[in-house]
Amino acid sequence: MKSRFETKEYEFLEIESRDTEDGKIVSIFLNNPTSRNSMTWKMGEEFADLIHSIKKEKVLPRAVIISGRNDVFCAGGDLNLLRSFSEKSFSQNRRDMRKFYGFFLSVRKLPVPVIAAVNGHAIGAGLSLTFGCDLRIFADEGKYSFNFVRLGIHPGMGSSFLSPELLGKSLGGRLLLTGETFDGKFAKSCGLALDSVPKREVYDRAMDLALSLSKAAPLALQELKRNLYSWKQLDSALKKEAESQARNFISDDFKETIKSILEKREPKFTGK
């Protein structure tokens, strides 16, 4: 009998399941071909629904892999979604951003190991999603960046907490403040990625890792996963991010960001 998350159809996700001698490995692929797997509200709802379905399975998978279709991992927030935030009130944005973060960071609450197979570019919130996973395999030639400040908004999707948590305040702060772009080899050198391989090998490397994890005692791994992270601390950071982004979205600087993207030019910020 097929599991619920195998049989349900999704608009912006694809799901694959691999049965092994030691149990099931589930792969989730972001799939928004029209905009480089950018995050929409509907994708977020689908993602959270799928994570909830996996958590409710009587027999949990031994590991979950998150990757992307269309030769990319995730280009970040969808432009139409971002534009809609500029048209809402502060209170609406604060509420909606907190909910939006929760859709994707629900992966943090999965009681099994989650591997990010970052098979191509991951920008902004897309990169934040990989930080919310337990282990990461990056593509050598992939381009990765927390570009939030370059768009006139405070970092979101938990990045202001997850980046310093994984990399320390010095390097984590540097990546957030500068919005600089780095590649997979850099990610491996600083310990962010377990490994960095050519793009075509990323998913296979992640599957090898998942197979290795499936040999461990599942109950022990589940308990470890629950004890590794403090959701309370992350939740506090998410509330601050939502409030900060809500203010930024109604600023002149963010309106300039949207205008500059549509006009294909660099934004000119005024601090208003």
Segment-wise mean pLDDT, segments of 10 residues, the chain, 272 residues: 56 94 95 96 97 94 97 96 94 97 96 97 98 98 97 97 96 97 98 97 98 96 90 93 97 95 94 93
Whether residue 5 lies inside any domain: the answer is no
Whether residue 74 lies inside any domain: the answer is yes
The DSSP code sequence of 185-206 is HHHHHTTSSSEEE-GGGHHHHH
Count the Cβ atoms, other than its own, within 10 Å of residue 58: 5
User: Which residue range(s) make up the domain with 214?
Assistant: 13-263
What is the residue type of 189?
S
> Residue 2: what pLDDT?
47
Per-residue pLDDT reduced to its tens digit, 35-45: 999 999 999 99
pTM to 2 decimal places: 0.94
Whether residue 220 lies inside any domain: the answer is yes
Whether residue 141 lies inside any domain: the answer is yes
> Residue 231: what pLDDT?
83
- The tokens for 156 are 């979101």
Strands 181-182 and 23-30: what pairing?
unpaired
Number of structural domains (the chain) is: 1
Closest CA to 206 of 271, 118, 143: 118
> Residue 5: what pLDDT?
53
- Residue 205 sits in a domain whose CATH number is 3.90.226.10
Whether residue 95 lies inside any domain: the answer is yes
Whether residue 200 lies inside any domain: the answer is yes
Whether residue 30 lies inside any domain: the answer is yes
Whether residue 236 lies inside any domain: the answer is yes
Question: b vs e for 197-228, b when ≥16 Cβ sit within 10 Å of the residue's Cβ?
Answer: bebebbbebbbebbbebbeeebeebeeebeee
> Residue 8: what pLDDT?
62
